[in-house]
Amino acid sequence: MKLSMGPQHPVTSHFRFILDVDGDAVLNFEWDVGYTHRGIEKIAENRIYVQNIPVVERINSYCDSIGTTLGYVEVVEELMDIQIPDRAKYLRVIAAELNRIASHLYAVSLVGISAGFETMLMWTINDRELILDLLVKLSGQRITYTYPTIGGVRWDMPDGFKEEALERLGYLEKRLEDYYRMMAWNRTFQMRFKNVGILKSSDAVGLGIVGPNLRASGVKVDVRKDEPYEVYDRFDFEVPTGKNGDSFDRASMRLKEIEQSIVILRQALKDIPNGPIKCSPKGSKVPPTAPRGEAYSRVESARGEFGYYLVSDGKSKPYRLKISTPSFRNLPALPFLCRNIPLGDIPVIFITFDYIPLDVDR
């Protein structure tokens, strides 16, 4: 029986799965995406560089917009050869890590609900609000911050931000224990997530999986370590990896990464230097055009690696902006894993990969 799951379905968001179902077993899985396709790559060719920041932000607006805009800003800065002040770099890291925490909490909440575990959903969403509050203080927005800009960041830290952030991070660290217990001590949770959707490391690399999903399979790949952008090389943090690559590993990977984000944030908040937050207008001014050439920037967003490939023809608008998004790169995993599994595992595997339809469709 062909079962069309989505695009209006409690769990698939704006995706549609075309499933071959036999009784309660799924024989074949096929994607149908594109319900939120906006043609951002084409729109970007018709806007000047600065205008494109909020445009690309819409790729991944409701979860990890700092990671998204950061990649774009970096690729433009690389092409224009702009050096940004240290304080701006630190602020970018702080914003990106806060956003990563918020995004991962969101992901964990969805993990809970994928098996009908409402308590997990509510608790994590509740605590995500604390982080969003911090980001509101930093940027003025809850979801779409447009915080990094070409040549720096838009706003400086407000007074008292540091203390409040540290306090909330301390609270969150305590709560992480609870979340971890919710996963690891709950037998039913383990029954649903352990040994479900096992992605071996060789398969994960071959299929081009990125981000926490790849790390859950035991491959230690993190752009923050491999190719440190901003000031990530100045921080001392670990890249957590999983063992089995099953859904449980993917779910708990998010909690481990939140832990590391807290570690980074503590260091960043401690070390942040004083100084300007943008290239000063007098000194190195941000040019309106980028020189002819190309650049590829990689940024570790919450869902994985963002790749921005920018080709410039020397005019004020990008000639071509290719955006390689983490969810799009994770797409091949599901058809690979969802063969001959019970129907009940579909939401579990799907949610632990943390797809975002906006991200896939662009």
Partner 1 sequence: MSDKSVEHQVVEDVKANFPEDVLEIDVQRRGRVSISVKRNIIYDVSLFLRDKLGFDHIASVSGVDHIDEKEFEVIYHAWSIDKKILAALRTRIPRDNPVLKSLIDVWKGALYHERETWEMFGIKFEGHPNLSLFLLPEDWLGIPPLRKDFVLPKRPQE
Partner 2 sequence: MLGLSFVELIELFIKVLIFPGTLFSLLFSIIVIWFERKFLARMHLRIGPLHVGPFNRLGLFQPIADFLKLVQKEIITPSKANNFLYRLMPMLAAFLSALSIAFIPYALDPSGGYWVIFYTPLSLLVILVILTAKPFIMVGAGWAANNKYCTIGALRAAFQLLAYEIPIVLSLVGIVIVARSFDLAKIVEAQSSVWLIILQPIGFIVILIGMMAELLRRPFDIPLAEQEVVFGWPTEYTGVQFALVMVSEYFDLCVTASLITILFLGGWSGPAIPLLHDISPMLSGIFWFLLKMAVITVIIIMGRGVFPRLRIDQLLESGWTILIPFAIIQILITLATAQWWLPLIGG
| Binding region for partner 2 (CB under 8 A) | 1, 3, 9-11, 21, 23-24, 112-123, 126, 186, 188-189, 191-192, 342-347
Binding partner of residue 344 among partner 1, partner 2, none, CB under 5 to 8 Å per kind? partner 2
Long-range contacts formed by 320-326: CB under 8 A, 24+ apart: 320/41, 320/45, 321/41, 321/44, 321/45, 321/52, 321/56, 321/72, 322/41, 323/40, 323/41, 323/56, 323/59, 323/362, 325/59, 325/60, 325/359, 325/360, 325/362, 326/210, 326/211, 326/301, 326/359
In the complex with partner 1, which residue's Cβ is closer, 201 or 252? 201
Q: Are 103 and 359 in contact (CB under 8 A)?
A: no
171 binding partner 1? (CB under 8 A): no
206 binding partner 1? (CB under 8 A): yes
Binding partner of residue 331 among partner 2, partner 1, none, CB under 5 to 8 Å per kind? partner 1
205 binding partner 1? (CB under 8 A): yes
In the complex with partner 2, which residue's Cβ is closer, 56 or 120? 120
- Shortest distance, CB of residue 146 to partner 1, whole angstroms? 22
324 binding partner 1? (CB under 8 A): yes
CA–centroid distance for 292 within its chain: 30
18 binding partner 1? (CB under 8 A): no
- Shortest distance, CB of residue 210 to partner 2, whole angstroms? 25
Number of chain residues interacting with partner 1 (CB under 8 A)? 34
Binding partner of residue 208 among partner 2, partner 1, none, CB under 5 to 8 Å per kind? partner 1
Q: Are 299 and 273 in contact (CB under 8 A)?
A: no
Could you give the CA distance from residue 33 to residue 330 in angstroms, rounded to a whole number? 13
Q: Which of 84, 205, 215 is nearest to 153 (CA)?
A: 84
Residues 19-78 that bind partner 1 (CB under 8 A): 31, 33-34, 37, 39, 41-43, 46
Q: Which of 166, 317, 322, 343 binds partner 1 (CB under 8 A)?
A: 322
Spatial neighbors of 224 by CB under 8 A, at least 6 apart, are 232, 237, 239, 300
Q: What one-character DSSP code corresponds to residue 308?
A: E
Binding partner of residue 44 among partner 2, partner 1, none, CB under 5 to 8 Å per kind? none
Q: Does an H or E element contain 31, and which? A: strand 25-32
* DSSP calls for 289-300: S--SEEEEEEEE
In the complex with partner 2, which residue's Cβ is closer, 25 or 43? 25
276 binding partner 1? (CB under 8 A): no
Q: Taking CB under 8 A as the rule, which mask of x and - marks residues 292-311 in contact with partner 1?
A: ----x-x------x-x-x-x
Q: Which two tokens stand for residue 195?
A: 């040994």
In the complex with partner 1, which residue's Cβ is closer, 179 or 308? 308
- Shortest distance, CB of residue 10 to partner 2, whole angstroms? 5
Spatial neighbors of 270 by CB under 8 A, at least 6 apart, are none
Binding site for partner 1 (CB under 8 A): 31, 33-34, 37, 39, 41-43, 46, 205-209, 219, 221, 226-227, 296, 298, 305, 307, 309, 311, 319-320, 322, 324, 328-329, 331-332, 361-362
